[in-house]
Amino acid sequence: MDNFKIIYKILRELERNMGNEQFEIYQVSADKLKIPYERWEQLLIMLSDNGYISGIVVSQDLEDKFRHIAEPIQPYITLKGLEYLANDTFMEKAKEVLRLAGEIL
């Protein structure tokens, strides 16, 4: 699955669960999305770095090549994330591909 489809699924699920105190990270986890944890973690960090999600803490030790997410992981979508979901052509293409494949969460 390409990165834009994964990003769409993450943002869409976070949008659906806005304000839901029962939301569990598993709903957008690497296992649920069927991707390696490392890839999932880096995608969440990119989404956070670019302002599309908030609620994650990132750290990096001297021996780490990449930054990592610290527990607890409690992401939520931002206004910028909502705008991206609504307007981005990559998201529209990913949404259409997923709809056709019957994969929309």
Task: Using pLDDT thresholds of 50, 70 and 90, give the confidence band for residue 18.
Answer: very high
| Of 15, 28, 22, the residue nearest 76 (C-alpha) | 15
In this prediction the pTM is 0.80
The owner of tokens 């994330």 is: 81
Share of the chain above pLDDT 70, in %: 91
- The one-letter amino acid code at 65 reads K
Q: What does the alpha-carbon distance between residue 83 and residue 25 come to, in Å, rounded to a whole number? A: 22
> Residue 64: which pLDDT band, with cuts at 50, 70 and 90?
confident
